[in-house]
Amino acid sequence: MVKVHGRCNLACTYCYLYEGPDHTWRTRPAAAPPGVLSRTASRIGEHARAHGLTAVSLVLHGGEPLLAGVDTLARFTDLVRDEVPASCTVHATVQTNATLLTEERLTVLARHGIRVGISLDGGLPAHNTRRPDHAGRPSWPAAARGTRLIADRHPGTYAGILTVVDPRTDPVELYESLLDLRPPALDLLLPHGNWSTPPPSWDSSGTVYGGWLCAVFDRWWDAGRRETRVRLFEECVALLLGMPAATESLGLAPFDAVVVETDGSIEQVDSLKSAYEGAAGTGLDVFRHTFDAALRHPGVAARQAGAASLAAGCRACPLLSVCGGGNYAHRYRAGHGFANPSVYCADLQRFIRHVAGRLTGALSVAVPAPASVPAPASVPAPASVPAPVSAPVPVPVPAASEGGAP
């Protein structure tokens, strides 16, 4: 993930990056200078050659990356492709709030093989009231115009929509409003919160966010999964069936992304900035360090360790291989670091068991001899299901994780 621009043209009231506890963005350049982008491209190429990579995922991020100018995004993407071996495919995506999308800009992005992911709170004006610009004006008209433009004129460039769950919304209404924007895929993210700063409207019952996800899952499942792909749902099903899946929200797949900031700093993912000031920092940069050095950083190494890095309660949980402890940032508790269950533990348990129930029912109907069908992997029998964990296990932060980085 490369921060081509470190500022945003919107002033979302809930933004964990600009309104949260970490203020390091204020000391960095607004836009990544050409030297930072050039050095980043060479480091990506170096890493791809060293490890014989056949594919690299390049996310052009911000802030609002289109503030850097679409020509800058195109030049940098071309530079990365020039730096990696010919056998390595660069899958490039720009993540934008869609307000700056125009026909001309979309044409440039499409010409350079850059797909467009869009961040919205929903598909109706009422869903996006907390996303004004810096003058307090609503962003929805411009965002809706940009999203419909890509859906109508550049569907092959349309990567999908990312939406943060708001439990105050009607889940089915919100889902169907997003379908009207014809996304090829949806990514539903739980808002960043932790045990010290709980998410909005959260309680430990598992009904607030877990119930919301279950309602949308049923709507998606009952429609035959044909309307759009929903990453969280597909990966939960895959994990229940014992297949590999890669997402920060579920599973035990090792952490596989780093962020290059506008000043060339190499950091862990931005979600950690919702925990405390400097949580994502590594002390590394593209001028002096390789991405292998980032892999050796204690904070990154902890996220490569799988179940070994989880709290004892998580390691003993029958849902471990599916839940994976949840998003790393959501495990934080002041004084105890990240060695805790997710603040969404009860919600994830409710959601995973609900999906498992629907999946088991579908397998039973589809196969004439139910007794011969194995239960989905990692789904416990009802009698073995423990009560949801409603409080973190107080495990001290390992010594290697102390000193500012998680």
Examine residue 293 and state whether it is found in any structural domain, yes or no. Answer: yes
Domain that holds residue 25: 2-300
Residue 398 has pLDDT above 50, yes or no: no
Q: What proportion of the chain, given as a percentage, has pLDDT over 90?
A: 77
pLDDT at 246: 72
Q: Tokens representing 359?
A: 């999946």
Find all residues with CB under 8 Å of 56, minimum gap 6, and list them: 44, 48, 80, 84, 88, 89, 90, 91
Q: Does residue 351 sit within a domain? A: no
pTM given for the model: 0.86
Characterize the bridge pairing of strands 265-267 and 259-260: antiparallel
Indicate whether 238 belongs to any domain: yes
pLDDT tens digit string along 223-261?
A: 998 899 999 999 999 999 998 877 778 988 887 889 999
| DSSP state letter for 213 | H
> Which residue in 196, 176, 201, 173 sits closest to 186, CA to CA?
176
Q: Please report the beta strands in 184-328, taking only residues with DSSP state E, as ranges in sequence order.
A: 185-189, 229-230, 259-260, 265-267, 284-285
CA 72 to chain centre: 24
Q: What's the Cα-to-Cα distance from 366 to each of 39, 178, 370, rounded to whole Å?
A: 54, 30, 9
Average pLDDT over the chain reads 88
In a domain, 95, yes or no: yes
Largest CA distance in the chain: 64
Cα 192 from Cα 368, distance rounded (Å): 44
How many other C-beta atoms are found inside a 10 Å radius of the C-beta of residue 228?
Answer: 18
Q: What is the pLDDT of residues 49-61, one digit of tens each?
A: 999 999 999 999 9
- pLDDT tens track for 8-48: 999 999 898 898 899 999 999 999 999 999 999 999 999 99
CB 3 within 8 A of CB 258: no
The domain tally of the chain equals 1
- Domain assignment of residue 236, yes or no: yes
Indicate whether 402 belongs to any domain: no
At residue 262, what is the residue type?
A: T
Q: What is the CATH number of the domain that holds 203?
A: 3.20.20.70
Q: Is 48 a member of any domain?
A: yes
Find out whether 77 and 60 touch, Cβ atoms under 8 Å: yes
How does residue 366 score in pLDDT terms, banded at 50, 70 and 90?
A: low
Per-residue pLDDT of 252-291, as tens digits, reads: 888 788 999 999 999 999 999 999 999 999 999 999 999 9
For residue 346, tell me if it sits in a domain. no
Calpha distance 167→11 (Å, rounded): 21
pLDDT, one tens digit per residue, over 317-349 is: 999 999 999 999 999 999 999 999 999 999 999
